[in-house]
Amino acid sequence: MSDPTAADPIPVRALNQVTYCERLYYLQYVDCVMPTNEHVEAGLFDHRRVDDPDLKNKTRTDRGAERSRGIALSSEALGISGVLDVIEERAGERFPVETKHGSAPHDDGGKPTVWDNDAVQLCAQALLLEEAFGTAVPRGFQFHVGSRERVQVDFTPELRERTRGAIARCRELQVLDAPPAPLPAEQRHKCFGCSLAPVCLPEETLYELGAPKPRDADADAKVPHLTRVIPQSDDGAVLYLQEPGSSVGKRSEHLVVKKEGKELSRVPLHAVRSVVVCGNVQVSTQALETMAANEIAVSYVTGHGRFIGAFVPAPAKNVSLREAQFRAFADREVCLKLAKAVVRAKLHNQRALLMRNLRGGDEARGSHEPAARDLWNVLQGVSDAKSIEELMGMEGQGAAVYFGDFGKFLKPLPDGKGFDFTTRNRRPPRDPVNALLSFAYAMLAKDCFSAVCTVGFDPYKGFFHAGRHGKPSLALDLMEEFRPVIADSVVLTLINNESVTKDDFLTWRDACHLTESGRKKFFAAYEQRKATVITHPAYGYRMSYARMLEVQARVLAACVRGELPMYTGFTVR
């Protein structure tokens, strides 16, 4: 273990986290992941007086006690630092007072007490006080806002030893390449209400550790019903901006869209999750700065649907994940293993969509179709692939079978109204169906780009798609398993429900593209599909497709860091 004086001091509040849950400490202070939830916000509200800048470093006398608020202390010898809520002096004795959200716990006799992790944090403050002022601090107090109770904490030799042990444990965890395992079952109650639970995925991680073998994509095995810790659906809406010649600015807490000086719409920032700029739309610097500050990603696509890139907030601070990503993706065996999982899931989902759309009136499923059998045969060979190149050949073979029958998925319409599909083409797409497919894949790539950035990956370093300048390879890797169930499904819905007509497309020089009205219809159907709630095939809980992208990205991150032995692609039944 390194000398604490040679490293940055550990925040006193981090000792609370490491005592409560070592995985929580690692994610928050090593990976620098800092999400908030209602409990965190409530705690900040309770600290509003303590954190008031007008009261910091000022001493006030109240009822015979002098109280100083917001005092910063640091110790090179201890290797810790912190800002003390309150230092109280009474009758020649000095002690720390910490404010905590919620009610005080009570012992078997009904007497208010404190949690062990809170006691360690308070004791660390006492150690800082003792070094700073050279006098003993035998006790401190914790004030619980919820129950309005003030509890005395005695700094016994045992508590002081636990506090120094927490400091040492923080140093040990800082040098690990991956976070420690989630809490065992008997301590799982600590996960509920934790702001890091959607990042930690405790139950999912432990389940995967207990199920290290690949599961058959078509097996009807029972899935567990794990507790879902990620919200079922996203909060806020995706704002699509596509009015040619319009501009977007900021006014107060709103985004304002104007054209030729006339206001077209006004949207409150709190209602926006992300923004998609399509075509000739100008976004002001002030609007971009505000969206970045509010962690609202702005994606740019051409009027024809090609994903250009994204303006996102500062990248995640967990450098260790990106280091692990580059190490792992430099290993061909690791890449092949991950690629097999992705291709296996993609082929499975293509086959599932094919069987749903080709099943006859007397058949429960379309497994009797030759294309379904051919896809099954390709799927069976994935595990035996010896290289990425061989796997790409299998993926291409599966795509040929799938798109060879894709035209049969389309609902027959009266003459002149129907859409024909014979083969997949792009750059540029030459018919309406291909135009819809290309546009759908661009939108999906945009969402996968956002998901891998949220988790902390470098989106341009992938394991399956060859890395090229400006190509978000990892986002393209992640989207493979979702192409059939999100993108292709949206295209079929728009056509078979007659939501789009031939008037929604413009063809020029063998290139076919959606018109502005066609894009509006597409955006509505695409967001509706992403909001569809389905059951996760491995974990058994229900969640929207939009959230599934983040779940898969986080599971992939755990595999890359060595937390999990394998990655399982997302599949539907």
Angle between helices 332-358 and 370-380 (to 10 degrees): 160
- Could you list the beta-strand ranges (E) of 145-245: 149-154, 237-241
Give the SS3 label for residue 236. Answer: coil
The pTM is what? 0.73
> Quick one: tokens of 2?
């390194």
Distance of CA 376 to the CA centre of its chain: 32
> Is beta strand 149-154 parallel, antiparallel or unpaired with respect to 139-144?
antiparallel
Cα–Cα distance, 82 to 461 (Å, whole number):
38
Q: What is the DSSP letter of 33?
A: -
DSSP 8-state assignment for residue 134:
S
Please state, in angstroms and as integers, the Cα–Cα distance from residue 361 to each residue in 224, 252, 373, following that order: 33, 58, 19
Rounded to 5 degrees, what angle do the CA atoms 120, 36, 300 make?
145
Whole-angstrom distance, CA of residue 376 vs CA of residue 507? 37
Which 3 state secondary structure label does DSSP give 60? strand
- Exposure string (b/e) for 494-533, b if CB count within 10 Å is 16 or more? bbeeeebeeebbeeeeeebbbeeebbebbbebbbebbeee
Helix (H, G, I), strand (E, B) or coil at 83: strand
> Is residue 252 exposed (0-12), middle (13-18) or buried (19+ Cβ within 10 Å)?
exposed
End-to-end distance of the chain based on CA atoms, in angstroms?
50
202's tokens: 């405790």
In terms of DSSP H, where are the helices of 405-467? Answer: 432-455
Phi first, then psi, for residue 141 (nearest 5°) are -135, 150
Beta carbons of 39 and 55 less than 8 angstroms apart: no
DSSP string computed for 238-279: EEEE--TTEEEEEETTEEEEEETTEEEEEEEGGGEEEEEEES
Q: Is 299 helix (H, G, I), strand (E, B) or coil?
A: strand
3-class DSSP state of 512: strand
SS3 319: helix
Within 8 A by CB and 6+ apart from 241, the residues are 248, 257, 275, 276, 277, 278, 281, 283
For residue 11, cis peptide bond before it (omega within 30 degrees of 0): no
pLDDT of residue 203: 77
d(CA 441, CA 483): 7
Rounded Cα gap, residues 439 and 446, in angstroms = 11
Domains observed in the chain: 4-176 (3.90.320.10), 237-311 (3.100.10.20), 319-560 (1.20.120.920)
Q: How far apart, in whole angstroms, are the C-alpha atoms of residue 182 and residue 208?
A: 12
Cα–Cα–Cα angle for 386, 391, 392, rounded to 5 degrees: 140
Give dist(CA 485, CA 532) in Å, integer: 11
The answer to whether 347 and 371 have CB atoms below 8 angstroms apart is: no
If one counts every other C-beta atom within 10 angstroms of the C-beta of residue 91, the result is 6
Separation between Cα atoms, residue 123 and residue 89, nearest integer Å: 17
Q: Are strands 80-90 and 10-11 parallel, antiparallel or unpaired?
A: parallel
How far is Cα 491 from Cα 474, in angstroms, rounded to an integer? 24
User: Do the Cβ atoms of 456 and 539 come closer than 8 Å?
Assistant: no
Compute the distance between CA of residue 131 and CA of residue 73 in angstroms, rounded to an integer. 10
**What pLDDT score does 45 carry?**
43
**SS3 call for 106:** strand
Are 150 and 61 spatial neighbours (Cβ–Cβ below 8 Å)?
no
Q: At what angle do helices 370-380 and 388-404 cross, to 10 degrees?
A: 170
> H or E element: which one contains 268?
strand 262-268
**Tokens 């700029």 sit at which residue?**
277
Burial class of residue 410 (count of CB atoms within 10 Å of its CB; 0-12, 13-18, 19+): middle
Q: 543 and 230 in contact (C-beta within 8 Å)?
A: yes
> What is the block-wise mean pLDDT of the chain (573 residues), using blocks of 10 residues?
61 91 87 56 45 55 75 91 89 87 84 91 93 91 87 93 94 86 80 76 76 48 56 63 80 81 80 77 83 78 70 68 90 92 93 81 59 88 89 90 86 74 83 89 89 87 76 90 93 89 84 86 89 82 84 90 86 83
3-state secondary structure 336-392: HHHHHHHHHHHHHHHHHHHHHHHCCCCCCCCCCCHHHHHHHHHHHCHHHCCCHHHHH
Which pLDDT belongs to residue 469? 60
Comparing CA positions, the residue from 238, 322, 120, 172 lying closest to residue 531 is 238
